[in-house]
Amino acid sequence: MWVRPCSNVTSVTVAQLPGLNTLGISMARIDFAPWGINPPHTHPRATEVLTVVEGRLLVGFVTSNPENRLITQVLEKGDVFVFPQGLIHFQKNVGNGYALAIAGLSSQNPGVITIANVVFGSNPDIDVDVLAKAFQVDIKVVQQIQSKF
């Protein structure tokens, strides 16, 4: 069964607000349904500072190779967490109600790369043999995942 992320990100970057040009900042509002996620992603041009406005969020990022260490924390209303530039990170609402967070980013154009979309939903598709070997799974598993994107 395929489960949708159940979150909504409203970004304010230089694309939406030209006045941010040259200021080196942008923001995002992330609204989470109960148990919703903001899936693993990265910002290639910005560090992110996340503040929880409502709810409880499990947040985390993975350090770079070769360690690939997962750093996580459960945040409550008013807590702040920093995601270093370029590292894969995520958020999950671990409360029963809705959650809200505000993110500040250190670039007027931070970019976003959602990992699953890029790996399994590229256009054209990444060769299934490459992904099967990279993830050490059968080609049919890769094809099944790619069919979701």
What is the pLDDT at residue 46? 97
- What value does the mean pLDDT of the chain take? 94
Identify the pLDDT of residue 2: 40
Tokens of 11: 């970004």
31: Cβ–Cβ under 8 A, 6 or more apart, which residues? 7, 8, 10, 98, 99, 100
Identify the band that residue 1 occupies on the pLDDT scale cut at 50, 70 and 90.
Answer: very low
What pLDDT, on the 0 to 100 scale, is given for residue 4?
60
Q: Are 25 and 106 in contact (CB under 8 A)?
A: yes
* pLDDT tens by residue, 84-116: 999 999 999 999 999 999 999 999 999 999 999
pLDDT in tens, 21-51: 999 999 999 999 999 999 999 999 999 999 9
Which residue has 């409203």 as its token pair? Answer: 10
Distance, CA of 128 to CA of 123 (rounded, Å): 13
Percent of the chain with pLDDT over 70: 97
**Residue-level length of the chain:** 149
pLDDT over 90 at 130, yes or no: yes
Q: Look-up: residue for tokens 């109600």?
A: 97
